């Protein structure tokens, strides 16, 4: 697996149909062997990008490059890509063997080799021995594995997955997620994955590309995107966040102090570049807001509060806290869950705060 050199590159690509621009001037680099996820709400253009890389949507502008070759004018059947759809799209009139062998037939592979490679592909997706079955005889999860086998058996330059897990039920989805990742790792195949499910995106990817309204809002490692959202949209879309408006009232070397409009002052560490008096929004992940019994901790950013409401989530609990500051918090339940009306202390680490300017863009790094 050679990382670094890109397998897929988009250069200022614009996509659309019938006068509607779905994707505008997008740049994207997918290094060889990596798993990149396009994440965003429906209509953000993620599927359109995937289909453009596949060759199902023509580029109105810019360049699409696969393995150093400009493919804008290369028809889909000559692009050597593997495509997996949300609803499997297995050929219902062909057996599993014929489905998986389909792509090999058009690559001039001889019969014996086809048989060997189909068998190996079915082994990889852990469904050996189903060659003679029809797709309708398999469960949804099995069908999706066959679809995956059919796409990888041709050893494509890039594997394109269009929400492949969203037709499966919750338990199966999680299982398939783990498996998908391990298959991708085993084969070292460059993969572009489209989803609107952020958990999937964070769990699977080397790189998450968050999109909105046909533009890339942020691209980076899952942790980076989650912890340091580059914009208000990313902060809001990814995970549960508190977005607290306020004003910078003090700037020091290591950080800044924000007076929150809703009351209270909060010390943030990432204020590099913030100006005194600037209007900002402070982003704090609900998971990083610590709810403790009163008088439990010492340090900066301690607030007294009261539990306004509780939602029990199993291992976690989601609280709405009112008091010095009003925040949402999602915490692991340590010994006991706090009840409505309980007095609590809220603590927020300065390094868990991100500042956004009045355009909704992150200040500093």
Partner 1 sequence: MNGQGGWGWRAVKAFTVLVYLFMFAPIAVTVLLSFNPAQFGGFPMEGVTLRWFWELAANDMVLRALRTSLLIGALSALICTLLGILAAMALVRYEFRGKEWINTLLISPVLIPETVLAVGLLLFLRWLEQPRSLVLLLLGHVMLTLPFVVLVVQARLIGIKRVYEEAALSLGANRFQTFREVTLPLLMPAVLAGILLAFTISFDNVTATMFWRPAGVETMPTQIFSMLRNSISPEINALGTLMIVVTVGLPVIGAALARYVGRGQR
Could you list the residues that contact partner 1 (CB under 8 A)? Answer: 54-56, 75-83, 85, 87, 89-93, 102-103, 106-107, 134, 136, 150-151, 154
Minimum distance of partner 1 from residue 135's CB (angstroms): 8
- In terms of CB distance, is 77 or 185 closer to partner 1? 77
- In terms of CB distance, is 107 or 111 closer to partner 1? 107
- In terms of CB distance, is 31 or 156 closer to partner 1? 156
- In terms of CB distance, is 192 or 238 closer to partner 1? 192
Minimum distance of partner 1 from residue 136's CB (angstroms): 6
Q: How far is CA 99 from each of CA 4, 20, 129, rounded to the nearest angstrom?
A: 34, 35, 14
Minimum distance of partner 1 from residue 232's CB (angstroms): 36
DSSP string, 271-332: -TTPPTT-EEEEEEEGGGEEEE-TT---SSSEEEEEEEEEEE-SSEEEEEEEESS-EEEEEE
Q: In a 10 Å sphere around its CB, with 0-12 CB exposed, 13-18 middle and 19+ buried, how is residue 42 labelled?
A: exposed
Minimum distance of partner 1 from residue 143's CB (angstroms): 11
Quick one: angle between helices 140-152 and 170-187, nearest 10?
A: 20
Can you point out the beta strands (E) in 94-141? none
- In terms of CB distance, is 136 or 332 closer to partner 1? 136
DSSP string, 180-235: HHHHHHHHT--EEEEES-HHHHHHH-SEEEEEETTEEEEEE-HHHHHHS-SBHHHH
Minimum distance of partner 1 from residue 43's CB (angstroms): 19
- In terms of CB distance, is 17 or 312 closer to partner 1? 17
Cα distance between residue 94 and residue 137, in whole Å: 12
Minimum distance of partner 1 from residue 149's CB (angstroms): 12
Query: Which is nearest to 234 in space by CA: 180, 281, 279, 275?
Result: 281
Minimum distance of partner 1 from residue 244's CB (angstroms): 45
- In terms of CB distance, is 85 or 228 closer to partner 1? 85
């Amino acid at each position: 697996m050679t990382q670094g050199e890109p397998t897929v590159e988009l250069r200022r690509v614009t996509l659309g149909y019938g006068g509607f621009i779905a994707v505008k001037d997008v740049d994207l680099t997918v290094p060889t062997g990596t798993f990149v996820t396009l994440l965003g709400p429906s209509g953000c253009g993620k599927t359109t990008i995937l289909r453009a890389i596949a060759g199902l949507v023509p580029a109105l502008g810019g360049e699409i490059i696969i393995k150093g070759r400009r493919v804008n004018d290369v028809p889909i059947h000559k692009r050597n890509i593997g495509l997996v759809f949300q609803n499997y799209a297995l050929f219902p009139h062909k057996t599993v063997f014929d489905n998986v062998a389909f792509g090999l037939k058009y690559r001039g592979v001889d019969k014996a080799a086809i048989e060997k490679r189909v068998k190996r592909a079915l082994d990889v997706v852990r469904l050996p021995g189903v060659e003679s079955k029809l797709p309708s005889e398999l469960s949804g999860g099995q069908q999706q594995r066959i679809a995956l086998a059919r796409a990888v058996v041709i050893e494509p330059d890039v594997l394109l997955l269009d929400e492949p897990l969203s037709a499966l039920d919750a338990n199966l989805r999680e299982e398939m997620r783990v498996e998908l990742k391990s298959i991708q790792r085993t084969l070292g195949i460059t993969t572009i994955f489209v989803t609107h499910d952020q958990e999937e995106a964070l769990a699977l990817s080397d790189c998450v590309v968050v999109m909105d309204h046909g533009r890339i809002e942020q691209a980076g490692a899952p942790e980076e995107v989650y912890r340091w959202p580059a914009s208000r949209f990313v902060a809001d879309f990814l995970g549960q966040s508190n977005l607290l408006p306020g004003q910078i009232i003090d700037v020091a070397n290591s950080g800044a102090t924000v007076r929150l409009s809703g009351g209270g002052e909060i010390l943030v560490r990432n204020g590099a570049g913030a100006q005194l008096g600037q209007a900002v929004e402070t982003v704090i992940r609900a998971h990083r807001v610590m709810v403790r019994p009163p008088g439990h901790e010492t340090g900066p950013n301690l607030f007294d509060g009261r539990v306004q409401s509780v939602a029990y989530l199993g291992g976690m609990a989601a609280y709405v806290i009112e008091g010095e500051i009003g925040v949402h918090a999602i915490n692991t339940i340590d010994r006991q869950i706090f009840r409505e009306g309980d007095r609590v202390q809220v603590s927020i680490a300065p390094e868990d705060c991100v500042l956004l300017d009045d355009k909704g863009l992150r200040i500093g790094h």
